[in-house]
Amino acid sequence: MWDPLFLVPFIPVFLLALTLHEFGHAWTALQFGDPTAKLQGRVTLDPLKHLDLMGTICMFVLQFGWAKPVPVNPANFKPEQRRQAELWVSLAGIIANLLQAVAYAAVWRVLLLVDPNLLYGSPFLQRFLVLGVLINLALAIFNLLPIYPLDGAHVMKNLLPLRQAIPFDEFSQRYGTMILLALILVGSFSGVSPLQILIGVPRNWLAGMLLPGL
């Protein structure tokens, strides 16, 4: 059962994290000449345009969720810029989450400098800022995993030389979803989640660096 004291700050942080992530993809694609997302109303900060119903339900039930993928048509990119465009479009959502984590941490640090009582005297504010850092770091790290359909697979494909990029992309698109589901199911049945380790360890380390006095 979700604690209301957790749920109240969680909802706006979660909605903003997903919205800015998807907005980052859509806006960056438009800058490189692909209007596909704009034509579908996705270059917006309206969370309702980005939320996936099942992904949102799963986030509240399983603490694991997703938004609607932003449609991107690489054919609209200039041929000489295609790999660069795909790389930055894929990174844009991750960067959006990292910037949000830094912003929440910056507020934390400013409050510590101005008056620590403002921070430590408000459990809600502490929870809100900590969740802002943890959720955004988790989304950034999760999406960096080089497993299709995550952003990290597209990042890896466009960083690799073409000779390696083509077989990696073929393998990733064929088996990536199955690998991702297997990682999720292993955690569900064994109690030891590979994803929690892959995401939680670097997330907690980075959060410890960003949030002094936590």
The pTM for the full model equals 0.91
What is the residue extent of each domain of the chain?
4-210
Q: Place 63 in a pLDDT band, splitting at 50, 70 and 90.
A: low
pLDDT digits (tens, 9 = 90+) for 129-145: 999 999 999 999 999 99
* Nearest of 199, 111, 101 to residue 147 by alpha carbon: 199
End-to-end CA distance of the chain: 25
- Which tokens belong to 175? 């088996």
Burial of 123 (0-12, 13-18, 19+ CB in 10 A): exposed
Q: Is the dihedral of CA 11, 15, 18, 24 positive or negative?
A: negative
Kindly tell me if the per-residue pLDDT of 54 is higher than 90: no
Q: How many CA atoms lie within 13 A of 156 on its CB side?
A: 21
- 181 or 174: whose pLDDT is higher? 174
pLDDT at 1 > cutoff 50: no
* Bond before 149 cis per omega within 30 degrees: yes
44: pLDDT strictly greater than 80? yes
**pLDDT tens, position by position, 102-115:** 999 999 999 999 99
Residue 191 pLDDT greater than 70, yes or no: no
What are the residue numbers of the active site? 22
- In terms of DSSP H, where are the helices of the chain? 4-31, 36-39, 53-62, 82-114, 116-120, 123-144, 151-159, 162-190, 194-210
